[in-house]
Structure 1
Amino acid sequence: MSVLPLIFTSGWASGINAYAVVLLFGVFGATGLTDEVPEALQRPDVLIAAGVLFLCEAVADKIPYVDSLWDSVHTVIRPVAGAVVGALLAGQSGSVPELAAGAVGGSTALVSHLVKAGTRMAINTSPEPFSNVIMSTTEDLGVAGIITFAIFHPVGAAVVAGTLLVLGTVTALFLVSRIRAFLRRRAQRRAERRAGQAVGPPV
């Protein structure tokens, strides 16, 4: 069976939390739950590094504006991770060319990363910090759930990932448009106040 659905799902998940993807695949492979995971992802040094970075992301991702800074740094890292994981999965199965698998994993990771970053920018306009914690926790649980599901039901997981990708893109575009409208209104109000101050009080 083609490993392409698993590559697509791992790309989507990598765009949200690449370290969780590497860690989960490595653990599943090392414990013998699947033979789809290449040896490179099961190495102890890879698992330790992924675990430490996952903990760092778990903290940074829940702090307003720090999460957006973290996302900007990972604009390159997450798509690259998606491409590498995809290529490794393809190399393990031999059913999909590694270059094509890397392109699928990387491009899917890039789109899901942009959706996540855009949504977080919108959430950061909220005055309370709890929405960041809720969204981050939901994303972490979603990545864990869909990667676990993909190990046993790759096609079903790919359908879920594709649906979430489309819904996330639509939501992010809507939120970004609302933010732009809000910023335009605020800039207009400031300009009006400055104009009023420049005219001065009536004589």
Structure 2
Amino acid sequence: MELLTAAGLSSAAGLNAYIPLLVLGLLNRFTSWVALPEGWGWLSNGWALGILAVLLVIEVAADKIPVVDSVNDALQTVVRPASGGLVFASGVGSETVAVADPGDTFGSAQWVPLLIGAAIALAFHLLKSGSRPLLNLGTAGVAAPVVSTAEDGASLGLSLLAIVLPVLVLLVAVGLAVLLIVGVRRLRPKKGSPAG
């Protein structure tokens, strides 16, 4: 179950880096639904939650504006996988952040959850960021705010689902991936069709 939770959270991070981090931090701080492993308590610290909230507002606003959303996606190519690695590692109870010597992280298997989560988030991020320029071009930017809102909703829903009902995470994550892939294929110009 921990692996499903971690996979769901890192998939959500690929759509929006800050939503799963905020969900984990807020639920750990204000409910008994999440008990973060030792070494991850910083995530529910008031300062961390405030910073994540500000970053989320900036991300949500930037992602709604055509062209700015593509620039934001380029910047998020580092942030979303990093977030995915963090939420995956915290979701499987890794002690990575609590390691006193960073050399120990790569000398042991503690880096594996970070890498797995980063890879999952990167896959979702690439699908998302690959479809956005095509969507903007095909709709003259009209679809950007609608699609961005749907992505944010999917990230929130997947984050909550990963915590509350992790059994469904795999099904929903695969469904989102298929939806993104089909969307990208439909938006790509056909070979032999005039560009313009």
Q: Give yes or no for TM over 0.5.
A: yes
Q: Deviations over 1:55-113 (max 9, x none)?
A: 0011100000100000001111111111122112223599xx64332222111100100
Bigger mean CA deviation after superposition, 112-121 or 141-150: 141-150
Query: Separation in 2 of the partners of 1:92 and 1:39?
Result: 13
Bigger mean CA deviation after superposition, 161-170 or 128-137: 161-170
Query: Separation in 1 of the partners of 2:117 and 2:132?
Result: 22
Aligned to 2:24: 25
CA RMSD in angstroms comes to 2.3
Query: Separation in 1 of the partners of 2:4 and 2:65?
Result: 33
Aligned to 1:58: 60
Residues 12, 121 of structure 2: 8 Å contact kept? yes
Residues 169, 99 of structure 1: alpha-carbon distance in 2 compared, 3 angstrom cutoff: farther
1:52 is displaced (CA, Å) by 0.2
Aligned to 1:79: 81
Residues 18, 56 of structure 2: 8 Å contact kept? yes
Query: Separation in 2 of the partners of 1:24 and 1:163?
Result: 22
Aligned to 1:45: 47
Q: Which one of 171, 181, 184 corresponds to residue 169 of structure 1?
A: 181
Aligned to 1:130: 142
Query: Separation in 1 of the partners of 2:35 and 2:170?
Result: 16
TM-score with structure 1 setting the length? 0.80
Larger radius of gyration: 1
1:45 is displaced (CA, Å) by 1.6
Query: 4+ runs of 1 displaced by more than 6 Å?
Result: none
Q: Deviations over 1:145-180 (max 9, x none)?
A: 1211221111212321122123322432442x32x7
Aligned to 1:194: none
Query: Separation in 2 of the partners of 1:142 and 1:3?
Result: 20
TM-score with structure 2 setting the length? 0.82
Query: Separation in 2 of the partners of 1:60 and 1:157?
Result: 28
Question: Are 1:148 and 2:160 an aligned pair?
Answer: yes
Residues 162, 169 of structure 2: 8 Å contact kept? yes
Query: Separation in 2 of the partners of 1:158 and 1:99?
Result: 23
Query: Separation in 2 of the partners of 1:104 and 1:87?
Result: 9
In structure 2, give the amino acid aligned to 1:65.
V
Instruction: Point out the structure with the larger helix share.
Output: 1
Residues 19, 159 of structure 2: 8 Å contact kept? no
Aligned to 1:185: 194
Aligned to 2:2: 3
In structure 2, give the amino acid aligned to 1:24.
V
Q: How many equivalent pairs are there?
A: 181
Q: Show structure 1 runs of 5+ residues with no match.
A: 188-203
In structure 1, give the amino acid aligned to 2:195.
R
Bigger mean CA deviation after superposition, 58-67 or 37-46: 37-46
In structure 2, give the amino acid aligned to 1:140.
D
Bigger mean CA deviation after superposition, 158-167 or 111-120: 158-167
In structure 2, give the amino acid aligned to 1:77.
V
